Structures are given as structure tokens and as C-alpha cells.
Structure 1
Amino acid sequence: MPLLDSILGPVTRIIDKVIPDPEARDRAKLELLRLDNSQELEMLRASLSAIIAEAGSTDPWTSRARPSFLYVMYAMILWALPMGLISAVNPGTASAITSGITAYLSGIPEPLYALFGTGYLGYSAMRQWGKVKGSDR
């Protein structure tokens, strides 16, 4: 948790100055680290439980929503190949298709793009973390 990490250093320096007894100072620092670890563990547990619940869902849309969206994105990227051929044969038709797709994509609200990007990056980071830890394959 970045906020707690940024606070942890200054708080330990304050503990060093305020608590003169080395044993009491070490106990206070240890308790601070326990607090930090427990909060991070709870946040991680909460986010992982949501991902696991979605992946284990019997509803095909819920369990396959992310991969399905990737397939849509792949199809849109691969659509560039036939568009290149269409533009070589009939540039006017290619221009009309491009204008239509651009108008459609411009109609999607910006917060929806931001939400998708945030969710997708978070999902990708958690998947990578799971792979590093050995819990995901």
C-alpha cells in the first residue's frame, strides 16, 4: 500500500526520537510493521477473492468476460488487414468505413475507457503476481 509505505519511514524516525528505551522502540516498530502487513494482506485477500469468485463462476459471461474482450480487441486490430485491401481497391469505401468506426468509438464515454484500462491493468498485475507466487498457471 503506497500511502502506508510513505508514512512508515517518517513514523519509524519519530519513534526513534520519541521512545528512548531501545526495547520499547523495537516493539513499537514491530507493531507498526504488523499493522502494515495485516492491512496489505487484507487488501490482497479481498482483491483475490473477487477475482477467484469471478473465475470460478458458473455463468459463462462472468468467467469469460475478460478473455472475450481481448478477442474483440484482437479482431479490431486484425481488421486493419482487410481495411488495407479495401482501401487499395476502393479508397472511398475504406474512408467511409473508417469514418463510421471512428464516430462509433468517439461516442463511447471517456470514463468508460478509463474504467476498462484501470480494471484490465489491475487484473493483469494480479495475474502476473499469482504466476510469480506460483498460485496461477
Structure 2
Amino acid sequence: MQPNPPVPHTATVDAKGVHVTTAAGKSRTYSGGEVMTLTQVIDLAEGSATLCQSSAETCLELVDESAELASDCDGLVAEITEKGVGANLIGKCVVLQEQLALQAAAAKKVHDQVLLGEEACRTASVNAEVRHGQIFRAVADSPLTKPAERDFYNAR
């Protein structure tokens, strides 16, 4: 037994998005962000990968800056010890060094995770092109402006 054949929906496009009305009279509006072409998906994935790359570079800069500040604390501790100012100030410098080490470790961890995110975005972009690019280009390059009638697809 064959299911009921699908009934085409009507769709209109305006500045608010794509308005789709089903045969049952239900309607839904898709904003520009919801209906995406393959090119938009690939561009979004590549843009996200680029953002991840710049974020990873920022994380590495933070790691370097934290290491530099911790080194400065070493010099400060040596200077304080030489002048005999007090153990309380030395203790605060040591705590600051520990916090800087924790900051550097956290930035390194975020860096590693962001690199994995970048790789995932680039992989998604390449996979979208490989898996769907040929049919997307075939449809985009086709001179046809509407889909074939149902009988065409059901022909044996």
C-alpha cells in the first residue's frame, strides 16, 4: 500500500524570511539564519575555524605573559629577600606566582581544546564539500527552475 503522495507547500520570501504554508494551512517562517545553503554552511565552518585559530593564538600569548610575570615575581622575591623587607610580602609574591602558574596551565588547556575545535570546524567544512558539493553544484548549475513532478521520481 502506497502512502498518500506528498502535497507541495507554498513558500514566499520577503525581508522577514521564508514563509512556508502546508496544505493543512499551518505556516512557519524561517529567518535567514535557519535556511542555509551548502556554501553558507562551509563559510560558517571556515569562519568558526578562523575564530578558533585566533583564540588559540591569544591563549598562547596569555601563557607566555603568565610565564613572564612569574619570572618577574622570582626577581622581586630575590630583591625583597636581599633587602630583608619581610616574610609576609615574600609569601604574597609566592602566592601570586602560584596563581600565574595556574593561569598559564588553564590557558594552555583552553588552547588545546580550541585547537580541537578548529580541527573539527575545518573537518566539517571539508566533509560538507566532499559529501554534498557535487550534488549542490549540479543543482545550482541546472537550468531547471522547479523540481520534477512526482511521476518522474516514481518511474521505474
- With the shorter chain as reference, the TM-score category is 0.3 to 0.5
Give the structure-1-normalised TM-score. 0.34
Higher strand share: 2
Answer 1 or 2: higher relative contact order, Cα 8 Å, separation at least 6.
2
Superposition TM-score, scaled by structure 2 size: 0.30
Q: Which has the larger radius of gyration?
A: 2
